[in-house]
């Protein structure tokens, strides 16, 4: 038993599969394929479905590494297009799954040129809406179509009328003062003229 809490695996015996066992397994896989061919089933789809057959292919690849290097690159390109797991058995479309679509640079430039309007955030849209509403209100206010504008205009009319009346009163008072001053000067002139 090791003294520390970590176990060192170096120096322990390793188990390797006998070449005879590998050869036997390869023969069994070959027999299965022949039987399936004779029965009329497709070998490529059954090899993917059968885990034992897939294990046999791995062992075969270990024996024949040189000849299978070309077939591995071909099978890799095929499996990229194929579904993984049970996707090929059950056809279900997930609406939440987003599939990446490859676009060319020229297509991206075209879409950017078409969409000249930048997408605005919620705050920016609200701010633009407020500005538009305020400009519209000011235009209506200047035309006198809002309630506030009507009330202001009525107040202005009353104030104008009061100012006109006040101006008339001042003019009348001024004329009366001038007349009073004139009468007073006439009286003083008469009084002075009589004495002298």
Do 61 and 126 reside in the same domain of the chain? no
Please give the Cα distance from 140 to 9 (Å, whole number). Answer: 87
150 occurs within a structural domain: yes
pLDDT, tens digit, 9 for 90 and up, residues 103-159: 788 887 777 677 666 678 889 999 999 999 999 999 998 888 888 888 988 999 999
Look at the block and give the residue holding tokens 């075209």: 110
Q: How many domains is the chain partitioned into structurally?
A: 2
Contact at 8 Å (CB) between 46 and 36?
yes
110 occurs within a structural domain: no
Contact at 8 Å (CB) between 54 and 48?
yes
**Helix runs in 96-146, H state only:** 105-114, 122-143
Look at the block and give the residue holding tokens 């939440």: 96
Q: Which of 65, 83, 99 is the last residue of a domain?
A: 65
pLDDT at 81: 59
114 occurs within a structural domain: no
181 occurs within a structural domain: yes
Residue count (the chain): 196
pLDDT at 175: 94
126 occurs within a structural domain: yes
9 occurs within a structural domain: no
Look at the block and give the residue holding tokens 């322990």: 12
**Helix runs in the chain, H state only:** 19-39, 43-49, 51-63, 65-81, 105-114, 122-143, 147-195
Structural domain span for residue 60: 19-65
88 occurs within a structural domain: no
Q: Which of 28, 48, 65 is the last residue of a domain?
A: 65
Please give the Cα distance from 183 to 180 (Å, whole number). Answer: 5
Mean pLDDT of 78-92: 64
Mean pLDDT of 34-44: 75
89 occurs within a structural domain: no
């Amino acid at each position: 038993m090791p003294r520390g809490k970590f176990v060192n695996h170096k120096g322990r015996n390793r188990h390797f599969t006998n070449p005879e066992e590998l050869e036997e397994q390869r023969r069994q896989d070959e027999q299965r394929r022949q039987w399936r061919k004779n029965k009329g089933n497709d070998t490529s789809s059954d090899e993917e479905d059968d885990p034992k057959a897939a294990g046999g292919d791995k062992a075969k690849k270990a024996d024949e590494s040189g000849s299978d290097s070309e077939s591995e690159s071909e099978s890799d390109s095929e499996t990229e297009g194929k579904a993984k797991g049970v996707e090929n058995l059950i056809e279900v479309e997930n609406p939440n799954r987003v599939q990446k679509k490859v676009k060319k640079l020229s297509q991206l430039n075209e879409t950017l040129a078409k969409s000249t309007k930048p997408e605005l955030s919620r705050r920016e849209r609200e701010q633009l809406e407020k500005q538009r509403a305020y400009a519209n209100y000011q235009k209506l206010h200047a035309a006198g179509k809002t309630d506030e504008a009507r009330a202001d205009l009525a107040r202005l009319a009353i104030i104008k009328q009061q100012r006109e009346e006040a101006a008339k009163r001042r003019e009348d008072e001024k004329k009366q003062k001038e007349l009073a001053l004139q009468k007073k000067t006439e009286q003083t002139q008469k009084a002075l003229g009589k004495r002298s």
